[in-house]
Amino acid sequence: MSPRVIIGAMSGTSADGIDVAVTQVTGHARRLSAKLLHLSSHPYHASLSNTIHTIRSEGAVALSRLAACGRAISLAYCEAICGALEAANLTPDQVAAVAVHGQTLFHSPPNTIQWIDPALVAVRTGCTVISDFRRADCAAGGQGAPLVPFADFHLFASDDVHRVIVNIGGIANVTILPRAGGIEAVRAYDTGPGNCISDAIVRRGDLNSVGIDVDGNLAASGQVSDELVTRFLADPYFHKPGPKSTDGPRMIAIFDAVLASLNEPVGTHDQLASACFITAESIARTVTRDEPCEVLIAGGGVKNRTLMRMLRDTLGDDIIPLRTTDDVGVPSQAREAMAFAVLGAATLDNVCANLPACTGAKHATILGSITPRQSSTS
């Protein structure tokens, strides 16, 4: 099969914007490879990001505001995709499809609101749009996440080394790729919080103008509260085997409940340090020490130096190598968007791309719904 250009567009639980990966996909989805042609990031307008966080944290919204939010998210996707087309010097008819993740507004499996208007995106971009990846897995009885293990297998599986692929966004998740194992051996699940707790602490404390702990500098000046960490990780979620999926508001609620139960207050910077350690520890618990293994990190958490230092310390970097996906040819910022391009290829090839062992679905299913491209004269 000739190479196809598929654009993956992804906005994660951090709700800070959209990553767009213009990707060349070669082969049929049962055996394929992917090459990044162009990567761009399109930040949400501050008002949209604030609206998304408010809706997610409060869990209630007027219908008119929900509709306006959905349109704003979809228009942001249109702008991001059109910008990537221009930057990559491509026309819509040169693109096989755009695979859009949409924005998570609510996720409590099997119930989910994954917001995108594919018809609007198809009209505004002139591209065929593939959407509803998460809802397709939920319809098959799954939790709708994690969805990227199919792509991780094609992008990262090795005959030489056992690999754990870690994405640290708002939520952290792992894909476990046994050495020389087939796709049926892949396992994956959400480990718990990624950046969501740290981001919430910064936003609520109005600690800076960007709403995140840039480079982990604030956390670096704090001390880890052992009691806070121990009580947080005692939550049943962390002792439940996969398949399992969670969401930012749930993790933040657990953190807040533990904070309120402590006899002594924990300062803001100490909260941030503790949040980083919780993320590092919950990820490290997934990594086997039984055989040679390497851990590949992707996502926004790569930029948090405090978190990365804690993860290296927790894993024992002299025993378990910790690298980023950049080291094997997949830019860490592009990994999820590229993964959705791969999932889009599977949809076009009529191949099931959810892995029931990872999502808990009752059966394998084709992910995504296809909305045909619309020309400006149609």
Q: What pLDDT does residue 375 have?
A: 66
Q: What pLDDT does residue 110 have?
A: 84
Q: List the CATH code of the domain at 150-328.
A: 3.30.420.40
Instruction: Read off the pLDDT of residues 58-77 as tens digits, 9 standing for 90 and up.
Output: 989 999 999 999 999 999 99
Cα–Cα distances in angstroms (integers) from residue 14 to residues 61, 73, 195, 212, 239, in the given order:
19, 14, 7, 10, 24
Q: What pLDDT does residue 180 have?
A: 84
Q: Is 106 exposed, middle or buried (0-12, 13-18, 19+ CB in 10 A)?
A: middle
Q: Beta-carbon neighbour count of residue 378 at 10 Å?
A: 8
pTM (two decimals): 0.93
Share of the chain above pLDDT 90, in %: 88
Q: Is 289 exposed, middle or buried (0-12, 13-18, 19+ CB in 10 A)?
A: exposed
Domain 4-146+334-371 shares a fold with domain 150-328: yes
Instruction: Read off the pLDDT of residues 338-362 as tens digits, 9 standing for 90 and up.
Output: 999 999 999 999 999 999 999 999 9
What are the structural domain ranges in the chain?
A: 4-146+334-371, 150-328
DSSP-assigned letters across all residues of 19-74? EEEEEEEEEETTEEEEEEEEEEEEEPPHHHHHHHHHHHHH----HHHHHHHHHHHH
Q: CA angle, 145 as apex, 141 and 150 as ends, to 5°? A: 100
In tens digits, the chain (378 residues) has pLDDT values of: 689 999 999 998 888 999 999 999 999 877 899 999 999 999 999 999 999 999 999 989 999 999 999 999 999 999 999 999 999 999 999 999 999 999 999 988 888 999 999 999 999 999 999 999 999 999 999 999 999 999 999 999 999 999 999 999 999 999 999 998 899 999 999 999 999 999 999 999 999 988 899 999 999 999 999 999 999 999 999 999 999 999 999 999 999 999 999 999 999 999 999 999 999 999 999 998 777 889 999 999 999 999 999 999 999 877 788 899 999 999 999 999 999 999 999 999 999 999 999 999 999 999 999 999 986 544
Q: What pLDDT does residue 291 have?
A: 76
CATH topology of domain 4-146+334-371: Nucleotidyltransferase; domain 5 (3.30.420)
Q: What pLDDT does residue 26 have?
A: 95
Pairwise CA distance, residues 339 & 155, whole Å: 8
Side-chain half-sphere of 260: how many Cα atoms within 13 Å? Answer: 6
* Three-class DSSP category at 164: strand
Q: What pLDDT does residue 376 have?
A: 54
